[in-house]
Structure 1
Amino acid sequence: MHDKALLRAYRTMRTIREFEERLHSEFATGDIPGFVHLYAGEEASATGVCAHLDDHRDTIASTHRGHGHCIAKNVDVKAMMAEIYGRTTGSCHGKGGSMHIADLSKGMLGANGIVGGGPPLICGAALAAKLRGEGGVAVAFFGDGGSNQGTTLESLNLATVWNLPAVFIAENNGYAEATAATWSVGGGSIAARAAAFGMPGRTVDGFDFFAVHEAAAEAVERARNGGGPTLIEVQLTRYYGHFEGDQQTYRAGEVQQARNELDCLKRFRDRVTGDGTLTAAQLDQIDAEVARLIDDAVAEAKAAPLPTRADLETDVYIQY
């Protein structure tokens, strides 16, 4: 990767981290409506995958834990923050909230409160891309819980049957809410299920941006060139609970270990500064710029207007 791409990747991961860390503290004030599911700790997955996608041809479908996917797919950070605060300046005019952020202009089909809801959507998007013949690729992110849903399994099958330009990213953070993947995933491997559907399957270290980036590059190139779908299992750890307020009685110690020893941002920084590719000063500058961006996003969201009664009758039906 060239220097500009590395700096862009670091900025994306740092933006996701700061966005989520700030939401963790802001949600505690009681000013944010609805539920919030944080992506902190999983930044290398969304960033490594979406680095290979563009706004024009490529689409993604997300999960309830979608902020990282949105940011990695270039959805405007300030519009996202306003959406989470339920303001009219939000990406969905304050009507979707955290779990339903979408921006079709960026190829972001939406975060989704339905477990396993994304894979069927990207089969449709991938079919459309195939018919257009422009080389577009559709990507579905889902969790270890979503990997057990019939919607996901049917989508894997359909993607092979129709030879779709699709990539399925199973983000295995160890728990479907509070249910351990080691107990709920039959056979112990999500990636191994790919063989049953006639597609390649691969497991990667989700704390290593470069490992995710390499695996995603191969899968996206294969899809673009008519080679069909791929399933990638990204193994990682979320730093917070399933939702804000989760007491996390089902785990202990592993989060602190992940933060101290495995953190994707630390590993990225150590690698690119250790080999002299980038300097600490370059990365520190990005840190400062991202911190200001998040401060501004929160301030502008809080100052933005709330929807009115008249807004209840808008955005109800698609206007053709």
Structure 2
Amino acid sequence: MKNFALIGAAGYIAPRHMKAIKDTKNNLLAAYDKGDSVGVIDSYFPNADFFVEFERFDRHIEKLKYETDTFLDFVSICSPNYLHDAHIRFALRSGADAICEKPLVLNPWNVDKLIRVEEKTGKRIYNILQLRVHPSIIALRKKVAEGKKDKKFEVDLTYLTSRGHWYHTSWKGDHSKSGGIATNIGVHFYDMLSWIFGDVQENVVHIHEKDRAAGYLEFENARVRWFLSINSDYLPNEIKEKGQTTFRSITIDGEELEFSGGFTDLHTMVYKDILEGNGYGLEAARTAIEIVHSIRNTEPVGLKGDYHPFANGGTLEKVAKRIN
């Protein structure tokens, strides 16, 4: 049984980490969050110590080490994006490996600095890249790898996940803290695309606003038009009529990739891989971080070239049929 601590216990994604720790039969010793709405801990580790001040959380970890010879094996990090780097460093200084949510860090040079920290401490940093363990995504990657080497797939990525006014007031609405919408809700898709289709050859941004972003990415084996939004106005009517608030679609050469199910246990699968000595580290996370950093720092060109139909009021029918 491994000992875990968790940073960011009140966040949306934290319960998936708690579940993964429990499902892999390990123990959560302590958790931290500046917010105290963390009753969900009772469903997983009611005996875990909880702190709302980082200094006391840090002190508790030190006391466990020096007074009871209780050592951390892992620190799970679910904190706001801009704090990941600092919390990863805390984990490694504490003698633990880090398991961190996406994006691992906001800037490519942070990856280089953390490689040095790994070398100095002898500890590892793992990133939650859960789409890489999704069966449908694994099958697609295998298909691409076994296909013609010079083939370029025509891909449309659409991800709409409605968020209320709170989003813009929270850290997620602050570009300096979240990296903006493309970083905050798109980074795992960019990782998936690069993992399947190879190195990035072109990165064009058509739109990058507070509630939507669109662009074009060309990889070794794919031309990708992408559109992301947290504005419910962009949801297709058929989705609204069902009372749903999220829509995700990936079409490849006009055919829909079915990967809507199987998301609930992906974090547990990632944890199992890490505990078995595998998992995805710093270099695996680098490409997606480079992509979102470029998107964040590129001036949008507007509706020019090969852009996603949703960027100009398009429909699902237009997505299904590639428009050149």
Higher fraction of helix? 1
Whichever structure has more strand as a proportion of its residues is 2
Q: Which has the higher contact order (CA 8 A, sep 6+)?
A: 1
User: Could you tell me the TM-score, scaled by structure 2's length?
Assistant: 0.33
TM-score (norm 1): 0.33
Q: Decide which structure has the larger Cα Rg and report it.
A: 2
